[in-house]
Structure 1
Amino acid sequence: VNNFFNQVEYIEDIYHWGQKDYWATPVEFLVTFGGDCEDYTIAKYFTLKAMGVEEEKLNLTYVKALNYNVHHMVLTYYSTPGSEPLVLDNIETDIRPASQRSDLLPIYSFNGTGLWLAKERGRGKFTGSSSRLQRWQDLMSRISAGNI
């Protein structure tokens, strides 16, 4: 899944969608064969869920990519609730444990059930529902309307 989606061309939202920040559905991402870090992460998240990976094992994680001095999003996978997550990324394409990704500074993470503020490189402190994120709500509305 990581390698498959990482083949898609990276295109900044302003050039691709004419907007500063747009979270594409997995189909939009594939049909247009382009997107930015959120789009890679969203596509991987929904694909792994469709393949049977439990939602609580997956987090969309907003980070600062220190080597590039930009905000970035990656998918993190937790094999068990307290385990160190694996990082699926479109910049550094090898899947590695978070402890081996010192180039990423976690800020917050979320999935369909919750939102966590980062503390160190684990899941972080639960702060409520992911519905607090407007772009996530917009994306879920488009997916619910059949625009996956």
Structure 2
Amino acid sequence: MQKPASRRFGVSLSWHFLALLLFAGSLLFGSGSAKASWSVDPVLRKAEKRYGRSGPANDRLQAWHDLLEGSRRKSEQEQLQAVNQQINRQVRFSDDSELWQRRDYWATPVETLARGAGDCEDFALAKYFTLLQLGVDPQKLRITYARALKLNQAHMVVTYYETPDAEPLVLDNLVDDILPASQRKDLALRYAFDAQGLYAMDHGALKRIGEPTELRPWQVVLTRMERQGFHLASVQSQSAGG
């Protein structure tokens, strides 16, 4: 299902930083592990103190808790569908200048769900960390920068690789269906990152071009998540150590 054009886009200018990193590099899919080790309960307790025990913010956060608890025993494909569907339904598009009065702000999953709004990078971050918490292998997930070809605008999605050489599936706030990248004729996948590195898309393969420590908004959002009760030491150590 295609979303209305007015709700589609809003990727920050931070992505222009990635264009500066296009240097020669070896092909790499990612060799480390960065399993999410946090429990959602401390995160929700901290969120409750900030946003209250009732109201729309609490309702959305409780629904997120229920999504996590109810999806742990599902197949990986079912988890992808459940997470993509729920985040898309619970979060409306809003750009950073309107929502945060900033030109560039990467929101944590708690901030996005509490507000019930975010831009495409916030959708992607919420889906990425939710899937990690459900136990999806981090080597299968990338946060990916794309170009929306028809409107010539920047966009961000989550890509899922069932195997290292598989065609990625695209989890997107523009289209509710999870489709292989080759079926998304409206998107051109350009760059990606995870806890191990920054990558350029090279004829379907991932070419490593830098370290995630070079992407400051990623480091900032991880630090803010730690303060909100997420225990992401493994993710941060992978980011620091490669």
What is the aligned partner in structure 2 of residue 88 from structure 1? 171
Residue 111 of structure 2, aligned match among 28, 35, 43 = 28
Q: What letter corresponds to residue 120 of structure 2 in structure 1? A: C
- 1:116·1:123 contact (CA, 8 Å) conserved in 2? no
C-alpha displacement of 1:144: 2.2
Structure 2 stretches of 5 or more lacking a match?
1-82, 231-242
* Structure 2 equivalent of residue 128 of structure 1: 210
More helix by share: 2
1:66 aligned partner: 149
SS at match of 2:135: coil
1:73-112 Cα distance to aligned partner (Å, 9 max, x none): 0000000111000000000111000011121112210111
Which residue number corresponds to residue 45 of structure 1? 128
CA contact (8 A) 1:109 1:123 kept: no
Measured in 2, the distance between the counterparts of 1:21 and 1:107 equals 20
The CA deviation at 1:146 is 2.7
Q: Is the 8 A contact 1:86 1:95 kept in 2?
A: yes
> Aligned letter for 1:136?
W
Once the two structures are superposed, residues 56-77 of structure 1 have per-residue CA deviations (whole angstroms, 9 ceiling, x without a partner) of 1000000111122110000000
Equivalent in the alignment of 1:140 = 222
Deviation at 1:145, TM superposition (A): 2.4
**TM-score normalised according to structure 1 size:** 0.94
Deviation at 1:147, TM superposition (A): 5.7
Inter-partner Cα distance in structure 2 for 1:24 and 1:147: 15
Unaligned runs of 5+ in 1: none
Aligned length: 147
**How far apart in 2 are the matches of 1:19 and 1:105?**
27
Q: Secondary structure at the match of 2:146?
A: strand
The structural deviation recorded for 1:114 is 1.4
Q: Does structure 1 residue 18 correspond to structure 2 residue 101?
A: yes
- Seen in structure 2, the aligned counterparts of structure 1 residues 112 and 118 have a Cα distance that, compared at 3 Å, is same
CA-to-partner distance for each residue in 1:11-64, whole Å, 9 max, x for gaps?
Answer: 111000001121100000000100000000000000000000011100000011
The one-letter code matched in structure 2 to 1:139 is: V
* 2:200 equivalent in structure 1: 117
Larger relative strand fraction = 1
CA RMSD after TM alignment: 1.2
SS in 1 for 2:176: coil
Give the Cα separation in 2 of the matches to 1:87 and 1:15. Answer: 27
List 4+ stretches of structure 1 deviating above 4 A: none
- Give me the TM-score of the superposition, normalised by structure 2: 0.59
Give percent identity, aligned residues only: 48
Letter in 1 for 2:223: S
Residue identity in the other structure for 1:22: Y
